Amino acid sequence: MEESNELHSEENKNSQDNNKKRKLKTPAQLMALEKFYNEHKYPTEEMKSQLAEQLRLSEKQISGWFCHRRLKDKRLSRDETQANGRQDRSSVVIQDRASGLGQDSCGSTKHGEHRFVDPREVESRRLSGHDFTAADITREYRSHYTERVGDMDNTSSESSSSLQDRLLTRKEDPYDVETSRYLTHTKGMENMGYKPSGFLKVKGEAENAAITAVKRQLGRQYWEDGPLLGVEFDLLPRGAFESPIIGSGHEPSTIGNTVLRSPDISGVKGQLSPSTRYEVYNSRLNSQQENPSIMHGFDLQEKKSSKQLRQKLTYLNDTNSSPGKNSSLDIYDKPSGGISAYNSNKKDRMRPKGNYGRKFTSEQTEPCLDEYDKFMSPKIVQRNEYLTSRPSSSMEEKFDGECKAMKDYHNPFRRMNSIDEMVVTKQARVNFPQRDCGTNSFAQMPPRKNQIKGTAMEMPSSFSEDETAETNSSVD
């Protein structure tokens, strides 16, 4: 009895100690959470549960993280609003569109000031009245409002969710594909009990109609793809983005024959959190890529460079890895000189910062190659290979195949649907045993049907052939 009490007190003590000290999320967990947050600001209970299980966190932690993440969004939103307080409405819209953080889709019903239009409204409309599949919704999200939703959704507002989503690289970011696939998997959605929550919960159709009406009114003031409110922007002079950075501490990196210049990220590198940096990096790149009008001054080479630059940055954002590292712990805990050529001086050197550079306690174990890491890893290697020395075609094929298989293989929340899928999964395990992480649910993820071969699978279906060819040519 005494022994038992002792044991209990010991456990309590341990648990208290464990609870007392906050534990930092591992980079992989953060990335997964961020990615998930980009897709679902208000995850359902089941989603949280799944996420918690897969990230080896408690549901409480998950809930708390999402809560704080939303607060962070809101705070950023407020800051941006204050910083741009003098801007007129149109400018605010511009800023909102560009920053991706200008709006918050706070689910609270008591914060009317933040009641901006949210993708969940679209979601709400669809879920409430129309028989759209989850894939449709996902396409809607994934296309980042390139499809005009009533000619206003992409102009009047986008939530930080969708914008952050947009901020994330879509072609390169493996999470993107992965979570997207999760979203597109209707069955998975059903399994997850996908349903509107939070903000969406309290939004009735009448409200949607009202908001939509406002959005329409606002939206009409904008051109579909052009400047706002009739403001003409001068085309950027040719080479405007070719500022002579050389010699100013930003050393260009060379990939093949293409010179990549480090983006002007020194200003944001200083104090931004990992996630924020992640957003900023991508927003800067995506802001160029998303808006075709900005591309006026770009010739093909520049576009090419931009793509490669983005790819490089994505690589930098996703990892601080060195080649050959498979585990996320390796990736994040041991930043190596693999990118030293890119950041040579001290000020701009790409060192891990924030959580990316944080040490993790010994008891804080990384989820054993959760789906994100597992399937990210090959790409990391691929990118690194690509950046340091162009991979041989066989290398490419190898990684390509691996990536494809891994992406198909490690699809979170997907469940076995058929024997065929199980067979394929088994095959995938044989192909990539080193990434098989035991009986983790992710390890049982069946491959995806309708696999797309090669790099094309990394692209949203909305991408044109030209872009596909272009991307391929950039690789060439």
Partner DNA sequence: TTGTGTTTTATTGCCTCC
Partner DNA sequence: GGAGGCAATAAAACACAA
- Smallest gap from residue 78 Cβ to DNA (A): 9
CA distances from 379 to 384, 437, 458 (A): 8, 18, 11
3-state secondary structure of 366: coil
Q: Give the CA distances from residue 201 to residues 64, 108, 132, in Å, rounded to whole numbers and listed in that order.
A: 19, 10, 18
Does residue 12 bind DNA (CB under 7 A)?
no
Q: Which runs of E-coded beta strand occur in 150-231?
A: none
Binding mask 126-165 for DNA (x = CB under 7 A): ----------------------------------------
Tell me, by CB under 7 A, how many residues bind DNA: 52
Under rule CB under 7 A, residue 272 binds DNA: yes
Determine which residue in the list 8, 9, 13, 71 makes contact with DNA, applying CB under 7 A: 71
Is residue 258 a contact partner of residue 346, using CB atoms and an 8 Å limit? no
C-beta of 238: minimal distance to DNA in Å? Answer: 35
Provide DSSP, 399-459.
HHHHHHHHHHH--TT-----HHHHHHHHHHHHH-GGG--TT-GGGGPPPPSSPPPGGGGGS
Contact set for DNA, span 29-68 (CB under 7 A): 30, 42, 45, 60-61, 63-68
Q: Applying CB under 7 A, does 325 fall inside the site for DNA?
A: no
Closest approach of DNA to the CB of residue 28, in Å? 11
DSSP sequence for 27-73:
HHHHHHHHHHHHH-SS--HHHHHHHHHHHT--HHHHHHHHHHHHHHH
Smaller CB separation from DNA, 126 or 201: 201
State phi, psi for 254 to the nearest 5 degrees: -110, 130
Contact between 23 and DNA by CB under 7 A: the answer reads yes
Q: Which of 197, 266, 431, 468 binds DNA (CB under 7 A)?
A: 197
> Using the rule CB under 7 A, is 269 a contact of DNA?
yes
Q: Does 378 bind DNA (CB under 7 A)?
A: no
Site string for DNA, 338-357 (x = CB under 7 A): -------------xxxxx-x
Determine, following the binding rule CB under 7 A, whether residue 19 of this chain makes contact with DNA: yes
Q: How far apart are CA 102 and CA 383, in angstroms?
A: 32
CA distance 188 to 181: 9
Q: Who's near 185: CB < 8 A, 6+ residues apart?
A: 134, 135, 411, 413, 414
**One of 22, 86, 130, 453 touching DNA (CB under 7 A):** 22
Specify the residue, 113 or 224, whose C-beta has the smaller distance to DNA. Answer: 113
Contacting residues toward DNA, per CB under 7 A: 19-25, 30, 42, 45, 60-61, 63-68, 70-72, 74, 106-111, 114, 197-199, 201-202, 269-276, 351-355, 357-361
